[in-house]
């Protein structure tokens, strides 16, 4: 079933490992800054996708939009229609932990959620979405080698961008959740169902309790540490 209504790529146009970003302009930036001989395979709905070489290894980058329903469409198609084996999301998050400041990096070991996304799988209980250990272990090692400030732990994948009430976030903070974003739980669920690998690497763009935040241009262009961790991880797998 390729091309799809959302992806113009032909079978074989996309590498086995894909870096994904909610912002398609961040995907474009990664392709232009880090990949050699990058070829654009998708621009449907402005969700840019590129395949090129990173230090000689074939890697793809693609946008996925905001929220779990949007990510779910693109991730499902990559895993099931394009034979992708590994997806590494590089995105932004708001810090809940007081130890995490703007521009710090979080590698999401697990994804709590306030979403009903898991209901589609008709499970007889509560599912715990987690990252692929090989990707997690490799990414943490690469972050150390790059000398970047990072933390590993649980994040909250929320359906609400404007629902970050401090009183509610405090409850998640009290359970040692590090940060809040909008996609990781769906990514981990779809990867688990497909028998594939997934990891979410996040840069703190704002601090929920202090109000500190990065600029729009910093969100789009300056959060390069997580990109380098993801690309170096892609080299190892």
206 among known catalytic residues: yes
What is the phi/psi pair of residue 208, to 5°? -60, -40
Which token pair is 105? 């990096």
Between β-strands 105-113 and 150-157, what pairing exists: parallel, antiparallel or unpaired? Answer: parallel
Angle 171-174-175 from CA coordinates, rounded to 5°: 95
Query: Which is nearest to 52 in space by CA: 24, 21, 17, 1?
Result: 17
Element holding 194 (H helix, E strand) = helix 184-194
* Annotated catalytic residue within 13, 23, 104, 206: 206
Query: Which is nearest to 202 in space by CA: 229, 221, 177?
Result: 229
Active site amino acids: 206
């Amino acid at each position: 079933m390729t091309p799809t209504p959302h992806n113009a790529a032909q079978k074989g146009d996309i590498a086995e490992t894909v870096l994904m970003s909610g912002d398609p302009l961040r995907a474009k930036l990664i392709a232009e800054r880090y990949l050699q001989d990058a070829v654009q395979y998708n621009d449907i709905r402005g969700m840019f996708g590129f395949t090129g070489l990173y230090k000689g290894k074939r890697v793809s980058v693609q946008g996925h939009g905001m929220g779990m329903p949007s990510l779910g469409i693109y991730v499902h198609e990559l895993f099931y229609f394009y034979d992708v084996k590994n997806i590494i999301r590089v995105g932004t998050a708001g810090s809940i932990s007081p130890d995490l400041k703007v521009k710090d990096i979080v590698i999401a070991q697990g994804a709590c959620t306030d979403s009903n996304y898991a209901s589609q799988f008709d499970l007889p209980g509560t599912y715990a979405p987690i990252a692929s250990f090989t990707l997690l272990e490799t990414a943490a090692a690469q972050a150390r080698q790059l000398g970047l400030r990072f933390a590993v732990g649980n994040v909250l994948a929320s359906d609400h961008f404007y629902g970050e009430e401090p009183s509610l976030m405090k409850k998640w903070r009290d359970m040692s959740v590090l940060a809040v974003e909008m996609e990781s739980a769906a990514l981990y669920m779809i990867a688990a169902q497909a028998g594939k690998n997934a990891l979410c690497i996040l840069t703190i763009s704002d601090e929920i309790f202090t109000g500190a935040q990065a600029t729009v241009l910093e969100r789009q262009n300056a959060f390069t540490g997580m990109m380098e961790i993801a690309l170096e991880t892609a080299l190892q797998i």
